[in-house]
Structure 1
Amino acid sequence: MARNVVVTGSTSGIGLAIANVFAEAGDRVAINGFGETQEIEAQVHRLQQLSKTDAMHHAADMTKPEEIADLIAATSRRFGSVDILVNNAGVQHIDKIEDFPIDAWDKIIAINLSSSFHTIRAVIPLMKTKKWGRIINIASAHALVASPFKSAYVAAKHGILGLTKTAALELAEFGITVNAICPGYVLTPLVERQIPDTARARGMTEEEVKTEVLLKAQPTKDFVKAEDVAALALYLASDAARQVTGTHLSIDGGWTAA
């Protein structure tokens, strides 16, 4: 039976990979994010073909609670409910704390942390009605360890783990699981955009950033693939994972093993 899935921040990168695997599983998928209209329309059409059912796009700005609420409401109206929520939307800014722009801090906290609260708050009544649901928060290795020059991102991702645990406890008796995935470095557009900023902040070349900063953290010396994260999300949404809740699963090439 097709399930109804919302994936935030899913017009590219990890989010789009997650939308793809759920569509391939025959689920109806609502993607969210910015991009060129024609490109997004093509993505929706492809997801509809993959799933052999339905797909949609909602352009909710994840800094605006009222638009986030409408994302969930609009999806529920079109699909009939929301069974699976994947919170993936994220942004980044690299800077020393004393130089960190206040508006950049506020934006990162809003998108990387607060938006997940707003989506979870909106889907809980829908999931409780069906006595089944899956909430999957895409956190980061930075939910477990810190790196310099990423104060807002690290703070937000640590906060996601706290939100995950609290929601899991509140929803444990309703057939709803809540978990976080903590990827290491995935060569997504978000990571690619931060390479020049990291090079500037550290006084390094961009190639040195890749080998001596990013992949140095991962003992496998290889980037995680977006498809790897998507496969883990698909597992967490399965009945086989019904007793997995309130925890995080690392997929970071051994980064946080030490």
Structure 2
Amino acid sequence: MPTDDDFELSEPTLAADDLLVLEDPYFGPESVAVVTGGASGIGQALAVALAANGLTVVAADIDEDGLDETVALADDVDAPGSIEPVAADLTDDVAVESMIDTAADAGDLRFVANVAGMQHIASIAEFPMERYDLMLDIMLRSPFLISKLAMQHIRDTDDDESSDDASSDRTQSGDGVGAIGNMSSVHGHYATQDKPAYITAKHGLEGLTKSIAAEGGGTLRGFSVSVGYVLTPLMVDQIEDTATERGISEREVVEDVMLGQARTKEMMTPAAVANLFVFGFSQHGRHLNGGDMLWDGGYTTTYE
């Protein structure tokens, strides 16, 4: 049996075999996808995964060095698509507008993935309001603004929207014109202590997802993805900090604290989450509209 000394925690290396690649009429270089948080973790894996599916990807983040790494990773997996890095502060409306303009100029803006996020651990009583405001700006306000700016561009990819017959055929076949996917969480479904801003943002994001679907006309889809703990660089740091704070091993943090409630005793990888977005954006996700892909290992659906 492995001991605590054998326990090593690090973000998995992204490889081509980790990525879901699908045949889809919209998965080509003429179609553009925007991915926020594209410099690390899930956003980075998703940008590479979409490039692996042949799309032109606008990867946005405030971390320019991380964006360069994302471009290099796409080259490493021989992605047929391309990644255009855009340094953008999502709390700056002008920067967000510029990001969407860049995406629209690059081709047919069909897909948006609102992935960028952050965490802060504190009770409601002790939560610093400036941190609350920053988290809500990044994880709820910016997805709203990005969606607001992107929706017309996505609608404009429908060359035949003036034809009622064509629109009817397209809706029935499920081709659609594009989709906006939002990175939610198990904390968009339930609450735990000391994560009030994160929980508030993720619950709000679920509402935004449904609103996009309600206004999408059946062809512009909105969906969200909810997962539990994912092995990202930020999560590795959080595990180390929690182990020190509680005086327990990193193994105990993962197995007892983080995965204690889950039935699948394994953390997800960024690539596994990215693949859910790829599926959701594809023609295979055509009935995923306003709904949430809950891939949580049993966190919210089972109990002892």
If the length of structure 2 is used for normalisation, what is the TM-score? 0.78
- Do residues 158 (structure 1) and 185 (structure 2) align? no
- After superposition, the Cα gap between the structure-2 partners of 1:106 and 1:199, relative to the gap in structure 1 and judged at 3 Å, is farther
Q: Does the C-alpha gap of structure 1 residues 166 and 200 become closer, same or farther in structure 2, counting only changes over 3 Å?
A: farther
Tell me the CA shift for residue 99 of structure 1.
1.0
Deviation at 1:193, TM superposition (A): 3.2
Match of 1:177 in 2: 221
Aligned-partner Cα distance in 1 for 2:242–2:139: 19
In the alignment, which residue of structure 1 is the partner of 2:60? Answer: 32
Show the counterpart of 2:114: 87
Distance (Å, rounded) in 1 between the aligned partners of 2:40 and 2:288: 28
Q: Which has the larger radius of gyration?
A: 2
CA apart distance, 1:194: 2.9
Following superposition, the deviation at residue 168 of structure 1 comes to: 0.5
Q: State the Cα distance separating 1:197 from its structure 2 match.
A: 5.3
Instruction: Looking at secondary structure, tell me which structure has more helix per residue.
Output: 1
Matched ranges for 1:1-258 at <5 A: 1-2=28-29, 3-35=31-63, 37=65, 40-47=67-74, 50-77=78-105, 79-131=106-158, 132-173=177-218, 175-195=219-239, 198=242, 203-205=246-248, 207=250, 208-258=252-302
Secondary structure class of the residue paired with 2:68: helix
Residue identity in the other structure for 2:89: D
User: For 1:88-136, what per-residue CA distance to the aligned partner results, in whole angstroms no more than 9, with x for missing partners?
Assistant: 0001000111111111111111111111101101111101111311111
8 A Cα contact 2:50 2:81, kept in partner:
no
Q: 1:13 to 1:211 in 2, by over 3 A?
A: same
Counterparts of 2:109 and 2:58, CA distance in 1: 10
Structure 2: distance between partners of 1:198 and 1:113: 27
Q: Distance in 1 between matches of 2:129 and 2:191?
A: 20
Structure 1, gaps ≥5 residues long: none
| Counterpart residue identity of residue 70, structure 1 | S
Confirm or deny: 8 A CA contact 1:143 1:157 kept in the other structure: yes
Structure 1 vs Structure 2 CA RMSD:
1.9
User: Take 2:237 and 2:61, find their aligned partners in 1: how far apart are those partners?
Assistant: 17
What amino acid is the match of 1:233?
A: F
Q: CA deviation at 1:42?
A: 4.5
Distance in 2, matches of 1:253 and 1:81, equals 36
For 2:284 and 2:112, locate their aligned partners in 1 and report how far apart those are by CA, in whole Å.
Answer: 17
Pairwise CA distance, 1:46: 4.5
Unaligned 5+ segments in structure 2 are 1-27, 159-176
Stretch moving more, 49-58 or 237-246: 49-58
| Alignment check: 8 A CA contact 1:90 1:108 kept | yes
Q: CA deviation at 1:191?
A: 2.0
C-alpha separation in 2, matches of 1:97 and 1:43: 36
Q: Which amino acid in 2 is paired with 1:235?
A: F
SS at match of 1:43: helix
Partner Cα separation in structure 2 for residue 157 and residue 137 of structure 1: 9
Q: What is the DSSP-based 3-state SS (H/G/I as helix, E as strand, rest coil) of the residue aligned with 2:147? A: helix
Q: What's the CA shift for 1:178? A: 0.5
Could you tell me how far apart the structure 1 residues matched to 2:110 and 2:274 are? 17
Alignment coverage as a number of residue pairs? 254
